[in-house]
Amino acid sequence: MKQSHNSTRYNYDRLSRWYDWFASSEKHFTEIGLRMLKIQPGEKVLEIGFGAGQGLVALAHSAGETGKVYGIDLSEGMFQIAQAKIARAGLSRRVELRLGDAARLPFEDDFFDAIFISFTLELFDTPEIPLVLGECKRVLREDGRLGVVALEKKDCRAVKIYEWFHARMPALVDCRPIHARKTIEAAGFELAEASEEAMWGLPVEIVIARKYG
């Protein structure tokens, strides 16, 4: 897949006002991923590609008053929507948002207890995915957890149809199925738990992995 950051930013700036509705079908799987990640009170957590901020709210509640949640997203529109949502929820002191590129995370080494990525890893150009996962490994502490929710690439009719539309309408059908589990393991993470779900016939892979070494 080849999609510039500028086009991705433009697409999500344009969708930001309606994104909660647009991504409503993803909510169930994001919630499963959040439960599997098992955020504990006092933990420091990063969400990459936070979108309209629904996951940030859930993460902040799980991390509690002694924890801290950070979010990074490429889109200014999503940043504004998520920031307003966090303020309405009374969680501004617990959540810090940044605009930026996950292939160059603006955080120190060994900083986070957990990282969550939901329907975002698929948006990166294929050569960038290992860079993103490498950055995740860098900023996670030893035994830190990575949670990824992603469309799964499988040899089935639903995936082939979806990929046909993605190839012809990438601005609208921007995510594309990937081998999340294999890619995460290839980046040096150790698989802890995985689940396969289905969204409108499309396979969704939910992976929890740990950083060791």
What is the phi/psi pair of residue 28, to 5°? -60, -40
Rounded CA-CA distance 81/15 in Å is: 11
Kindly state the tokens that stand for 175. Answer: 């995510």
* Interacting residues of 149 by C-beta distance below 8 A, sequence separation 6+: 26, 29, 30, 32, 33, 117, 118, 119, 204, 205, 206
What's the structural domain count of the chain? 1
Q: Note the pTM of the prediction, 2 decimals.
A: 0.85
66-115 per-position pLDDT tens digit:
999 999 998 888 899 999 999 999 999 999 999 999 999 999 999 999 99
Host domain of residue 43: 5-211
Q: Please compute the mean of the pLDDT values over residues 159-186 and round it to a whole number.
A: 76
- CA nearest 131: which of 48, 13, 36? 48
Check whether 170 has a pLDDT greater than 80.
Answer: no
17-69 per-position pLDDT tens digit:
545 545 667 889 999 999 999 999 999 999 999 988 999 999 999 999 999 99
Beta bridge partners of 106: none
- CATH for 12: 3.40.50.150
Kindly state the tokens that stand for 24. Answer: 């409503």
What pLDDT does 212 receive? 87
Confirm if 137 and 66 have CB atoms less than 8 A apart. Answer: no
